[in-house]
C-alpha cells in the first residue's frame, strides 16, 4: 500500500510541475490593441499631416 501512495504523490508532483513551470517561463503576451469600443468616435484626420508635409517640401 505504501508504494501506491509514493507513486501517487510522485505523479501528482510531476503534474503540478508541468502545469506551474510553463506559466512562469512563458514570455509576456504582446500588447493587445484596445477594443473598438474604447476608440474615439471620430477618426484622427491624416490629411492635415500630409498637407503640412507637402507644404514644407514645396516651400524649400
* Maximum Cα–Cα distance across the chain: 91
pLDDT of residue 15: 92
Distance CA 19, CA 39 (A): 37
Residue 59 dihedral angles phi and psi, to the nearest 5°: -75, -20
Q: Can you give the pLDDT of all 60 residues of the chain as single tens digits?
A: 789 999 999 999 999 988 887 655 555 566 766 566 655 666 666 655 545 555 555 655
Report residue 35 as a C-alpha cell. Answer: 477594443
pLDDT of residue 12: 96
pTM beyond 0.85: no
Distance CA 47, CA 50 (A): 5
Distance CA 11, CA 17 (A): 10
Expressed in angstroms, the distance from the first to the final Cα of the chain is 91
Amino acid at each position: 500500500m505504501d508504494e501506491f501512495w509514493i507513486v501517487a504523490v510522485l505523479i501528482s508532483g510531476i503534474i503540478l510541475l508541468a502545469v506551474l513551470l510553463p506559466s512562469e517561463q512563458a514570455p509576456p503576451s504582446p500588447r493587445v490593441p484596445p477594443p473598438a469600443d474604447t476608440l474615439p468616435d471620430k477618426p484622427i484626420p491624416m490629411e492635415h499631416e500630409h498637407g503640412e508635409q507637402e507644404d514644407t517640401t514645396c516651400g524649400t
